[in-house]
Chains A and B, each alone.
Chain A
Amino acid sequence: MNAIYAALGVAALLLIVSLGVAGANLEFVFGIIVPYAAVALFLLGFSYRILKWAGSAVPFRITTTCGQQKTLGFIKSENLENPHNLIGVLGRMALEVLFFRSLFRNTKAKLNKDQDLVYGRDKWLWAGAIAFHWSFLIVLLRHFRFFAEPIPSFVWGLQSLDGFFKIGVPVLYFTGLILLASVTYLFLRRVVIPQLSYISLLADYFPLFLIMAIAASGILMRHFYKVDVVAVKEFTMSLISFQPAVQEGIGFIFFAHLFFVSALFAYFPFSKLMHLGGVFMSPTRNLVNNSRRKRHVNPWNYAVKTHTYEEYEDEFREVMRNAGLPLEKAE
């Protein structure tokens, strides 16, 4: 049900942009106002969320340790899994952010006929996630050819790598296909795996469909409903130089693509997609496990009611004396 609502949501977006651009000729709104508003919302919302998180205290050093601690000299410690210094944390975070280290650990538990629990490796989610995120990043970076003149050299490099096999005209970019395939996989697993389907919310399906729509409209635009690329670039350059001007002759499909992207930008800060920022701020991952070596300060540490030794001795003086235990005060 949640998946259907989410799909309807994305269909509604398509309907809105169709009515707006193809129906009412509101290119100005969908080409200029909506993208500007979406990016503004993204930047403000993203910053707001990060600042809100940063404004929340880190009272204790609660590192999750996934390897041997650093103690005695003759025992080898694992700095990347259980960081004892800043280098360790940076390495751990790099592995986490760039290569999804923790997801790579994933296992699948099965209860076999003899009532034995066995744990198999399960790299599918990791592989799907890596394929999705990296292809999305490369697709995004490739788009810099629309936002810079001259086109930066890294974009040329990415393009030639991505289109290495030179299939079709214009050249087919593999990352586009990988993005679409991996996002489809991430959707299918939510539907097929019973536990996952059980926990999935509308907010889990919606971004998947939205990204599918973005990838699909992008691929359609490049290979099927070809748009005037020169006009598109003139338009995008006008946007980023803050002298926006809608060009003549840009096809509807471009506006649909742009609208989906705008929707993603606007939706981003209010959604789970904020894991992009959050992954850097997770206290179990980004802290050094040196709690006994270096004191961590809790900004809101406050005095509490304790049972002091004096009170303790006052209460138990008699039995302590009878037991021959040393006392602070005779009476």
Chain B
Amino acid sequence: MSDDIAKPEELSKVDYRPGDVVWTDPTIDFHKGTYSYGANPESSKYLGLPHARKFNPEDEDWHLPENWKEIIHEGLRDRLKKYRSLQVFMDICVRCGACADKCHFFLGSGDPKNMPVLRAELLRSVYRNDFTAAGKLLGKLAGGRELTPQVIKEWFYYFYQCTECRRCSVFCPYGIDTAEITMMGRELLHLLGIGIDWVTTPAANCFRTGNHLGVLPHGFKDSVEFAVDDLEELTGVRVEAPVNKKGAEVLFVVPSADYFAEPHYYGFLGYMALFHEVGLDYTFSTYASEGGNFGLFHSSEMMKRLNAKIYAEAKRLGVKWIIGGECGHMWRVLHQYMDTMNGPADFLEEPVSPITGTKFENAKSTKMVHICEFTADLIHNGKIKLDPSRNDHWKVTFHDSCNTARAMGIFEEPRYILRNVCNSFHDMPENTIKEQTFCCGSGSGLGNDENIEARMRGGFPRANAVRYVHEKHGVNLLCCICAIDKATLPPLMEYWVPGVEVGALHELVANALVMEGETRPTDLRQQPFGNQEDKEDA
């Protein structure tokens, strides 16, 4: 954790009353800890993006291209035609304020421009000024605002202080979704060569190597083999985990952090243990070694470019269908965009679980099934043997990640699994879970080190709800099904709620999983199983 950041007691003193400066003033104070670094021009160039240049948000002059205004106008006009969401959301907001205190960044910072309504007004005021009759005639009186280089800086600041979590859209009487506004805002900025490195460089890596981390094919294979060895050491069971195997039944795609970072890795071991136990014929792919898609945080085109490999690889390997691992934004792309962008997947078969015979009707067009759907079905059909008491050392709560919650509605599958794999599960308060879940504060590419203050502020509502169950029920494990969560919730917990670990759902599944031929003294973290103490007592 950076030393620059204030103590939690200080940071949580938030004043929700707006100050004296009117919001139409676009001046931004770029202070360290609240913004992300500009994109590395090498990455932008590799991706063929326009106007790639080195830029530091704190610089006075951002060296905008000469015709920058024209570019923005053209870009906005184009997108108003391409996206009804944008066109309608520009026109119908009544500024009722219902969204204001729904944003985690507003709740954590009190900055009025973090109220979703104002975040959208930053763009809407320019739209009104330059695109509507009333704005052209009446200007400021009609709520119009001139597009200036300062406004571009302001957009950059606030469109990268939104995690596209869509919580506001749940409460908006018209379903106005700030994620749409932010996505369009970011696309417009990219037209001027303005982006952040934590998005553009992973996207460039992903384009080249198939994953955000830039793991090369042999590195991926090593990681998988390493995990197989680890799992054998931990369970006494040697599993098979094929890579690039043609003719496997299922292609399994995970976010790259799963095989690279902790605590993701325990979930990765969990998938492999589970698939071995039920005898699933699957393969990993080095080319499709990333389910996550930072293109979603960049532009619709980048999303499509990075996503294309999944169907392409499924076709090349000749699999029947695809399973996707635990990840939030990855699943927004797979659920709401993939089939439209890169389908139809008519070369695949409608997914049927070879173990239970269950047809995944809900995925019959994309042919891609969420690991939680797959596992919940196994449990429901009694196909795996589980001993939940092995997780008795954990008191668990579940964090719904924004995208799987508000762009899919996968609420009960993970909870069903949890109730079967552990004995102590406590949901956080109802205003902070399921469709009302709070973001980790670091989604949509904001989970970088330099942005730490904004992250801790944005994650405050989530952490606060965890603190509630931590104090009330002694919760010590925050379980989640999102790679960004697993990367960014640990520092968030360390900062706000020390004593709560973060874990993957399939880590708990594998802990509870009774495997044939196993010799398992510990859980996947090499801690004694929760029921071990009782046994020793006996």
Q: Which residues of A contact B (CB under 8 A)?
A: 5, 49, 52-72, 74-78, 81-82, 84, 96, 100, 102-103, 105-109, 111, 115-117, 119, 125, 129, 193-196, 198-204, 270-272, 274-275, 278-279, 281-285, 289-298, 300-301, 304-309, 312, 315-316, 319-320, 322-326, 328
Q: How far is the CB of A132 from chain B (nearest CB, A)?
A: 11
Whether B363 and A293, one on each chain, are in contact in the complex, defined by CB atoms closer than 8 angstroms, is yes
Contact status of A72 and B171, CB under 8 A, knowing A53-B87, A292-B335, A316-B217: no
Complex alpha-carbon distance, A63 and B335, angstroms: 11
Whether A282 and B180, one on each chain, are in contact in the complex, defined by CB atoms closer than 8 angstroms, is no
Contact status of A71 and B92, CB under 8 A, knowing A96-B173, A199-B23: no
Q: Which B residues lie within 8 Å of A326 (CB)?
A: 244-246
Q: Point out the residue from B18, B412, B464 that lies within 8 Å of A76, measured CB to CB.
A: B412
Whether B177 and A106, one on each chain, are in contact in the complex, defined by CB atoms closer than 8 angstroms, is no
Q: Which A residues lie within 8 Å of B12 (CB)?
A: 111, 115
Beyond known contacts A195-B18, A274-B92: 8 more, CB 8 A cutoff: A60-B340, A62-B177, A62-B180, A64-B177, A65-B409, A71-B360, A107-B101, A115-B13
Query: Is B357's CB within 8 Å of the partner chain A?
Result: no
Decide if the interface of chain B is mainly helix, strand, loop or mixed.
Answer: helix
**Identity of the chain A residue whose Cβ is nearest the Cβ of B20 in the assembled complex:** A198
B95-110 interface mask toward A, CB cutoff 8 Å, 1 = contact, 0 = none?
1111011100001000
Whether B170 and A105, one on each chain, are in contact in the complex, defined by CB atoms closer than 8 angstroms, is yes
Complex alpha-carbon distance, A319 and B215, angstroms: 12
Q: How far is the CB of A165 from chain B (nearest CB, A)?
A: 32
Q: Which A residues lie within 8 Å of B363 (CB)?
A: 292-293
Whether B365 and A294, one on each chain, are in contact in the complex, defined by CB atoms closer than 8 angstroms, is yes
B112-147 interface mask toward A, CB cutoff 8 Å, 1 = contact, 0 = none?
100101100100000000001110000001110000
Q: Point out the residue from A57, A69, A76, A295 that lies within 8 Å of B365, measured CB to CB.
A: A295
Whether B336 and A307, one on each chain, are in contact in the complex, defined by CB atoms closer than 8 angstroms, is no
Complex alpha-carbon distance, A111 and B365, angstroms: 46
Q: Which A residues lie within 8 Å of B531 (CB)?
A: none
Complex alpha-carbon distance, A108 and B13, angstroms: 18
Complex alpha-carbon distance, A272 and B127, angstroms: 14
Q: Which B residues lie within 8 Å of A322 (CB)?
A: 218
Complex alpha-carbon distance, A11 and B461, angstroms: 45
Complex alpha-carbon distance, A272 and B128, angstroms: 11
Query: Is B495's CB within 8 Å of the partner chain A?
Result: no
Q: Point out the residue from A75, A279, A285 that lies within 8 Å of B413, measured CB to CB.
A: A75
Could you jot down 17 A-B contacts, CB within 8 Å?
Answer: A56-B82, A62-B407, A68-B410, A71-B413, A75-B412, A75-B413, A78-B409, A102-B98, A102-B175, A125-B96, A195-B115, A196-B95, A292-B364, A301-B341, A316-B209, A319-B216, A322-B218
Whether B340 and A323, one on each chain, are in contact in the complex, defined by CB atoms closer than 8 angstroms, is no
Query: Is B301's CB within 8 Å of the partner chain A?
Result: yes
Contact status of A199 and B121, CB under 8 A, knowing A283-B84, A307-B208, A308-B312: yes
**Identity of the chain A residue whose Cβ is nearest the Cβ of B366 in the assembled complex:** A292
Q: Which B residues lie within 8 Å of A199 (CB)?
A: 23, 95, 97, 100, 112, 115, 117-118, 121
Q: How far is the CB of A207 from chain B (nearest CB, A)?
A: 9
How many contacts A-B (CB < 8 Å)?
Answer: 313
Query: Is B278's CB within 8 Å of the partner chain A?
Result: no
Whether B92 and A279, one on each chain, are in contact in the complex, defined by CB atoms closer than 8 angstroms, is yes
Complex alpha-carbon distance, A227 and B29, angstroms: 61
Contact status of A293 and B362, CB under 8 A, knowing A72-B373, A75-B412: yes
Whether A69 and B410, one on each chain, are in contact in the complex, defined by CB atoms closer than 8 angstroms, is yes
Q: Which A residues lie within 8 Å of B429 (CB)?
A: 119
Whether A71 and B340, one on each chain, are in contact in the complex, defined by CB atoms closer than 8 angstroms, is no
Query: Is B93's CB within 8 Å of the partner chain A?
Result: yes
Q: Which A residues lie within 8 Å of B405 (CB)?
A: 65
Complex alpha-carbon distance, A324 and B361, angstroms: 37
**B95, B174, B244 — most chain A CB neighbours (10 Å):** B174
**Identity of the chain A residue whose Cβ is nearest the Cβ of B370 in the assembled complex:** A71
Query: Is B477's CB within 8 Å of the partner chain A?
Result: no
Q: Which B residues lie within 8 Å of A61 (CB)?
A: 336, 340
Whether A203 and B339, one on each chain, are in contact in the complex, defined by CB atoms closer than 8 angstroms, is no
Q: Point out the residue from B80, B301, B312, B366 that lies within 8 Å of A291, measured CB to CB.
A: B366
Q: Which residues of B contact A (CB under 8 A)?
A: 9, 12-14, 16-18, 23, 48, 80-89, 91-98, 100-102, 107, 112, 115, 117-118, 121, 132-134, 141-143, 166, 169-177, 180, 207-210, 216-218, 221-222, 243-246, 286-287, 300-301, 304-305, 308-309, 312-313, 316, 334-337, 339-341, 343-344, 358, 360-366, 368, 373, 376-377, 380, 405-413, 416, 429, 431-432, 435-436, 460-461, 464-465, 467-468
Q: Which A residues lie within 8 Å of B23 (CB)?
A: 198-199
Whether A193 and B87, one on each chain, are in contact in the complex, defined by CB atoms closer than 8 angstroms, is no
Q: How far is the CB of A297 from chain B (nearest CB, A)?
A: 7
Q: How far is the CB of A270 from chain B (nearest CB, A)?
A: 5
Q: How far is the CB of A285 from chain B (nearest CB, A)?
A: 4
Whether A109 and B335, one on each chain, are in contact in the complex, defined by CB atoms closer than 8 angstroms, is no
Complex alpha-carbon distance, A64 and B210, angstroms: 29
Contact status of A319 and B336, CB under 8 A, knowing A49-B91, A309-B313: no
Q: Which A residues lie within 8 Å of B132 (CB)?
A: 270
Whether A319 and B217, one on each chain, are in contact in the complex, defined by CB atoms closer than 8 angstroms, is yes
Whether A5 and B141, one on each chain, are in contact in the complex, defined by CB atoms closer than 8 angstroms, is yes
Q: How far is the CB of B421 from chain A (nearest CB, A)?
A: 16
Q: Which A residues lie within 8 Å of B308 (CB)?
A: 304, 306
List 3 tightest A-B contacts by C-beta distance, closest first: A278-B92, A323-B218, A65-B409
Q: Point out the residue from B169, B209, B460 that lies within 8 Å of A117, measured CB to CB.
A: B460
Q: Point out the residue from A84, A300, A312 that lies within 8 Å of B82, measured CB to CB.
A: A300
Q: Point out the residue from B92, B221, B316 that lies within 8 Å of A325, measured CB to CB.
A: B221
Whether A57 and B84, one on each chain, are in contact in the complex, defined by CB atoms closer than 8 angstroms, is yes
Whether A56 and B409, one on each chain, are in contact in the complex, defined by CB atoms closer than 8 angstroms, is no
Complex alpha-carbon distance, A272 and B132, angstroms: 12
Whether B339 and A292, one on each chain, are in contact in the complex, defined by CB atoms closer than 8 angstroms, is yes
Q: Which B residues lie within 8 Å of A67 (CB)?
A: 409, 411, 435
Contact status of A56 and B83, CB under 8 A, knowing A67-B435, A69-B362, A69-B408: yes
Contact status of A309 and B362, CB under 8 A, knowing A64-B169, A201-B95: no
Complex alpha-carbon distance, A95 and B36, angstroms: 41
Complex alpha-carbon distance, A59 and B301, angstroms: 12
Whether B341 and A125, one on each chain, are in contact in the complex, defined by CB atoms closer than 8 angstroms, is no
Complex alpha-carbon distance, A292 and B331, angstroms: 11
Q: How far is the CB of A188 from chain B (nearest CB, A)?
A: 13
Whether B169 and A272, one on each chain, are in contact in the complex, defined by CB atoms closer than 8 angstroms, is no
Whether A298 and B358, one on each chain, are in contact in the complex, defined by CB atoms closer than 8 angstroms, is no
